[in-house]
């Protein structure tokens, strides 16, 4: 697949963070643009956490100006997850080893190989930040206690993928998933995501800023929220970290 029509492509030797660069350029955008950095000096994950990204791993942000409501725009985390799944499967042939972890992670052989960070930008912009452990994963002691172990694509599959190869595959996969999302809405995207969901039907724990909820992972609803079946009944969770 070639580079998708209508998307800009910018590969930088070094930047503080691709999401920060997205904020700087969003005002002058003529259309969506991918920013890929071969080195980041101040990478961030969800909730302001440090994202450890050694040289050779993948760090990129798609910057765009969507026109939908904030609630619909936020559903692009599912677009990103499915595009990542598609791209990694195409590059490695390891589709059966991949799974999607609510809300924003991609798993490979049960370990976290990729993460997604959506951020709102000025001028109605959106940054879809994506990090993939292509060649190395951070040590387990550097991640939150109880979190899924980090893994790398190279270690788990033996396939060496360059950041530029990852970018090209991801951009093509995103364009296809984005077209489907805009044309058909979230319902089809939700069904596709659920068929790839990690631990669906199993007991998991969701930790919010205020409390912790344990229950059976029942589904993701039409708003993209996690639905757990707990001892106290059905609970819907809009934002949380999930632990297995």
Please check whether residues 19 and 112 belong to one and the same domain: yes
Q: How far apart are CA 38 and CA 95, in angstroms?
A: 26
226 Rama sector, left if φ>0, alpha if ψ -120 to 50, beta otherwise: beta
Q: How many domains does the chain have?
A: 2
Q: What's the pLDDT score for residue 74?
A: 96
Q: How far apart are CA 227 and CA 158, in angstroms?
A: 36
Which residue's structure tokens are 């997205």? 22
Please check whether residues 74 and 91 belong to one and the same domain: yes
Q: What's the pLDDT score for residue 178?
A: 98
Please check whether residues 45 and 129 belong to one and the same domain: yes
Are 189 and 72 spatial neighbours (Cβ–Cβ below 8 Å)?
Answer: no
Please check whether residues 235 and 115 belong to one and the same domain: no
Please check whether residues 173 and 234 belong to one and the same domain: no
Q: What's the pLDDT score for residue 139?
A: 82
Domain-embedded: residue 2 = no
| pTM of model > 0.85 | yes
Please check whether residues 163 and 100 belong to one and the same domain: yes
**Cis omega (within 30 of 0) for bond into 51:** no
Please check whether residues 233 and 124 belong to one and the same domain: no
Q: How far apart are CA 204 and CA 9, in angstroms?
A: 39
* Structure tokens that stand for 213 in this block: 């909820």
Range of the domain at 239: 203-243
The domain spanning residue 54 has which CATH number? 3.30.930.10
Q: What's the pLDDT score for residue 235?
A: 96
Domain-embedded: residue 1 = no
Domain-embedded: residue 3 = no
Do you know the residue count of the chain?
A: 244
pLDDT tens, N- to C-terminus, the chain (244 residues): 689 999 999 999 999 989 999 999 999 999 999 999 998 887 665 555 555 667 899 999 999 999 999 999 999 999 999 999 999 999 999 999 999 999 999 999 999 999 999 999 988 999 999 999 999 998 877 777 778 999 999 999 999 999 999 999 999 999 999 999 999 999 999 999 999 999 999 999 999 988 999 999 999 999 999 999 999 999 999 999 999 8
Q: How far apart are CA 160 and CA 60, in angstroms?
A: 18
Q: How far apart are CA 152 and CA 114, in angstroms?
A: 9
Please check whether residues 69 and 132 belong to one and the same domain: yes
Please check whether residues 46 and 82 belong to one and the same domain: yes
Q: What's the pLDDT score for residue 146?
A: 73
Are 58 and 131 spatial neighbours (Cβ–Cβ below 8 Å)?
Answer: yes
Sheet holding 241-243, edge to edge: 233-237, 226-230, 212-220, 203-207, 241-243
Q: How far apart are CA 159 and CA 92, in angstroms?
A: 6
């Amino acid at each position: 697949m070639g580079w998708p029509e209508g998307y800009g492509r910018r590969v930088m030797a070094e930047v503080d963070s691709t999401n920060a660069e997205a904020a700087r350029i969003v005002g002058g955008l003529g259309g969506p643009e991918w920013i890929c950095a071969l080195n980041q000096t101040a990478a961030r994950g969800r909730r302001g956490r440090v994202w450890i990204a050694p040289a050779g791993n993948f760090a990129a942000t798609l910057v765009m100006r969507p026109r939908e409501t904030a609630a619909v725009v936020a559903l692009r985390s599912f677009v990103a997850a499915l595009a990542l799944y598609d791209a990694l499967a195409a590059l490695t042939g390891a589709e059966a080893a991949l799974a999607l972890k609510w809300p924003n992670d991609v798993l490979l052989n049960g370990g976290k190989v990729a993460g997604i960070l959506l951020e709102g930008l000025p001028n109605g912009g959106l940054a879809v930040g994506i990090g993939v452990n292509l060649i190395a994963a951070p040590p387990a002691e550097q991640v939150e206690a109880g979190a899924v172990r980090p893994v790398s694509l190279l270690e788990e599959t033996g396939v060496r993928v360059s950041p530029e190869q990852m970018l090209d595959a991801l951009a093509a996969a995103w364009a296809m998933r984005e077209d489907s999302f805009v044309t058909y809405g979230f319902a089809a995207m939700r069904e596709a995501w659920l068929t790839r969901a990690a631990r669906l039907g199993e007991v998991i724990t969701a930790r919010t800023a205020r409390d912790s909820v344990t229950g059976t992972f029942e589904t993701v609803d039409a708003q993209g929220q996690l639905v757990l079946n707990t001892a106290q009944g059905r609970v819907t969770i809009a934002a949380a970290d999930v632990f297995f």
